[in-house]
Amino acid sequence: MGSVTATVGPPTDAHVTPWFRTFGAIVAAGFRRHATYRQAAVAGVVTNTVFGFLRCYIFLAATGAAGTVAGYDRAQLGTFVWAGQGLLAVIAIWGWTDLADRIRTGEVAADLLRPVHPVTSYLAVDLGRAGFAALARLVPPLVVGPLFFAVYLPRHWATVPLFLVSVLLAVVVCFGCRYLVNATAYWLQDVRGPMILWTLGSGVLAGLYFPLGFLPGWLEATLRYATPFPGILQIPLDVLVERESMPTNLGLVGLQVVWAVLLLALCRLVQRRAERRLVVQGG
């Protein structure tokens, strides 16, 4: 066993096809694993629905007599809220501590011995999870919302495909953020602190508590261009309700691509630094 250490890089495979096959297998495994928690999915849908009602009523009250607020009309707000409630579970914005738990218990050692880079394998599992959530958690609010509120249906043919791409990117961006938050466990052991900062920051800065358009223009622009947060919720939703023109929407999705690449690179960097100092305690 002497030659296997955390600092020796896993073997790199020059063949692309087997790599994709492995990645696909892990994605499928992630989907199946999360598809077993069906009762939890039902409970989650109920919660999302209640918050959908609350947020929808509150934002609609802000529209006043004019019927619009911050560039959204009442129907657009309806779509924004209900699609947002569905997306919460797809991007899994809260509650993911798998990596941090494994670091604390030392089980992460098993991940490091595998021939797939940890960032890659965790991303694959997360994409599988997101796939199941898209069916079980995104669809119900999209069905329930229109029963009780006016909603906006996209007019441009390209909006729905672009929305789906944007959601996929949102999952990757959100995964990158969560991986980094979890990876602080390599240094801190107990990640409750960073986790609560993430929970708070992400909810406000991603556009969940209120659409970022409610903020002053300069602040919204700063958040949009200088932080990844709008890319995990606000951008896909703005794309869906066509708040901006199609070229601007394409630009926003491009911004998500940039953040996705940057964050995954940062995850790999942090992972490498962490592996140099990781001491797995106990036998």
Contact positions toward other proteins, by CB under 8 A? 37, 39-40, 43-44, 46-47, 49-51, 53-54, 57-59, 61-64, 69-70, 148, 188-194, 196-197, 199-200, 203-204, 209-210, 214-216
Determine the Cα–Cα distance for residues 149 and 52; give it in Å rounded to an integer: 10
Nearest to other proteins of 26, 89 (CB atom): 89
Instruction: State which residue, 156 or 192, has the beta carbon closest to other proteins.
Output: 192
Nearer to other proteins, 5 or 189 (CB): 189
Nearest approach in angstroms of CB 158 to other proteins is: 30
Quickly list H helices, 92-226.
Answer: 98-105, 108-113, 118-133, 139-148, 159-183, 185-188, 192-205, 217-226
Q: Indicate the residue among 28 and 180 with the shorter CB distance to other proteins.
A: 180
Minimum gap (Å) between residue 72 Cβ and other proteins: 10
CB of 159 to other proteins, least distance (A): 25
Q: How far is the CB of 77 from other proteins (least distance, A)?
A: 12
Distance CA 7, CA 236 (A): 38
Outline where DSSP puts E strands in 27-75: 68-69, 72-73
What is the closest distance, in whole angstroms, from the C-beta atom of residue 203 to other proteins in the complex? 7
Instruction: Give Cα separations from 149 to 62, 108, 143, 146 (angstroms).
Output: 15, 46, 11, 5
- Of the pair 44, 154, the CB lying nearest other proteins is at 44
Half-sphere exposure of 63 (CA within 13 A, CB side): 17
**Strand 72-73 vs strand 68-69: parallel, antiparallel, or unpaired?**
antiparallel
Q: What are phi and psi of 64, to 5 degrees?
A: 60, -155
